[in-house]
């Protein structure tokens, strides 16, 4: 990995089907770090859009009793956002392996 950005040993990845089950059981809060146009074109139902270009770990929603999961298109930007969370000592360490692309490839629902 170039300069170590995008993925570190501190990142926990979950797959699309696991995230879908967690979301269905109200166990996850999904934050999509793609830009607004990408988000509008299609996103995981119930996801909150917080673009990486303006991402602030302190602005993440409260998630008592739930896992906060970051997502992007393929996994790189959500990894970069996790790096920002780690630097800010935010208790967020999970992202969607393969991002929204993996969600779509798994045949899961898409909101527009």
Q: What is the CATH number of the domain that holds 90?
A: 3.40.250.10
**What's the structural domain count of the chain?**
1
pLDDT digits (tens, 9 = 90+) for 12-57: 999 999 999 999 999 999 999 999 999 999 999 999 999 999 999 9
Q: Is residue 69 part of a domain?
A: no
Q: Is residue 36 part of a domain?
A: yes
Question: What pLDDT, on a 0 to 100 scale, did the predictor assign at position 10?
Answer: 72
Q: Is residue 68 part of a domain?
A: no
Query: Which structural domain range is residue 94 located in?
Result: 2-62+75-105
Query: What are residue 18's phi and psi, to 5 degrees?
Result: -65, -45
Q: Is residue 94 part of a domain?
A: yes
Residue 106 token pair: 């798994």
pTM: 0.91
Q: How much is the CA Rg of the chain, to the nearest whole Å?
A: 13
Q: Is residue 90 part of a domain?
A: yes
């Amino acid at each position: 990995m170039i300069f170590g950005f995008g993925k570190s040993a501190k990142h926990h990845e979950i797959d699309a089907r696991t995230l879908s089950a967690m979301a269905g059981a109200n166990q996850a809060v999904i934050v999509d770090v793609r830009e607004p146009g990408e988000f509008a074109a299609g996103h995981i139902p119930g996801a909150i859009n917080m673009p990486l270009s303006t991402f602030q770990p302190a602005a993440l929603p409260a998630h008592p009793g739930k896992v906060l999961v970051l997502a992007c298109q393929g996994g790189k930007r959500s990894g970069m956002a996790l790096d920002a969370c780690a630097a800010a000592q935010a208790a967020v360490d999970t992202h969607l392996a393969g991002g929204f692309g993996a969600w779509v490839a798994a045949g899961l629902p898409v909101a527009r």
